[in-house]
Structures are given as C-alpha cells and as structure tokens.
Structure 1
Amino acid sequence: MARTLKTGDAVIWKSPGGDAKGHVVKTITSPTTIKRHKVAASPDNPEVIVETESGKRAAHKPNALRRSSPKKP
C-alpha cells in the first residue's frame, strides 16, 4: 500500500545531484504531463506532485519520498 502523504508535507527524495527537498503539492490519480514528461498516474498507481524549495515541480512515486522535518523560520 502506498504511503499516505498530505498536501504540504515536507519531503526529501533522491535526485541526480543528491538529496532534494520540498513539499507535497498534491497526489494525482490520472495521467498528466509535467514539463513535457508523461506521468502515468492512475487510482491503482498514484503519483505525488512535489515542489522544490526553488519552485520546480516533479512527479514521484510515493515510495520514493521520505517525510522530513519542515524548515524552521
């Protein structure tokens, strides 16, 4: 079963440049396109839209994301 991540949760994930940090924007359950990349989401195969600290968005499988502590002001 997929992890339950909520909108706004602080998360961390592996990227080619090292760990990336950001937050959950939403979980999608239907196909979409992000930056000209097809995201094959479905109710049985959801994807999570995340946004980095610099404002870039990407889609990831829920099991590729780890919750992290939110950044303190």
Structure 2
Amino acid sequence: MAKRFEVGDHVSWNSEAGRVSGTIIAIHTSDFDYKGYVHHASEGDPQYEIKSDRTDHIAAHRGSVLDYA
C-alpha cells in the first residue's frame, strides 16, 4: 500500500536530475489532465502535485515514489 500524504507535506523523490524535494500542493483522487497527459488516480491510489523547492516546477507523482523529506 502506498504512503498517504497531505497538502503541505514536504516530500522527496528520485528524478533524472537526482533527488528532488518539494511541497505537496494538491491531491488528485480521479483521473486528471496534466501537461497534455492523462494521469490516472483514484481514492485508493491518489496522485500528488508537488512544487519543487528549488524551481517553480510542478510534478505529479503517486505516493509510492515519495518519501518524507
């Protein structure tokens, strides 16, 4: 089971550029369009929008790839 996070939680994840951290700004529990791609999400497997600490980049990830920073 994936970890559950809340808006405002500080998290980190691996990216092509190495370890990245940021703050959760939204939680999606149904499919949503992001950057031209449909991300699949559900109540049981939500996706999180995260604003990077170092840039203005917004990423969308499942809880299974996130850790508390």
TM > 0.5 fold call:
yes
2:27 aligns with: 27
2:42 aligns with: 42
Change (3 A) 1:4 1:45: closer
State whether structure 2 residue 56 is matched by structure 1 residue 55. yes
Separation in structure 2 between the aligned mates of residue 8 and residue 18 of structure 1, nearest angstrom: 22
Superposition misfits of 4+ residues, deviation over 6 angstroms:
none
- Percent of aligned pairs sharing the same letter: 28
Deviation for aligned residue 1:44: 2.5
Deviation for aligned residue 1:2: 2.7
Q: Which runs of 5+ in 2 are unaligned?
A: none
Q: Is the 8 A contact 1:34 1:58 kept in 2?
A: no
CA RMSD of aligned residues (A): 1.2
Task: Give CA deviations for 1:5-30 in whole Å, capped at 9, x if unaligned.
Answer: 11111111000110111111121101
Other structure's SS at 2:64 match: helix
Instruction: Answer with 1 or 2: which has the greater Rg.
Output: 1
Q: Is the 8 A contact 1:31 1:42 kept in 2?
A: yes
Question: Please, what TM-score do these two structures have when normalized by structure 2?
Answer: 0.86
Separation in structure 2 between the aligned mates of residue 17 and residue 66 of structure 1, nearest angstrom: 17
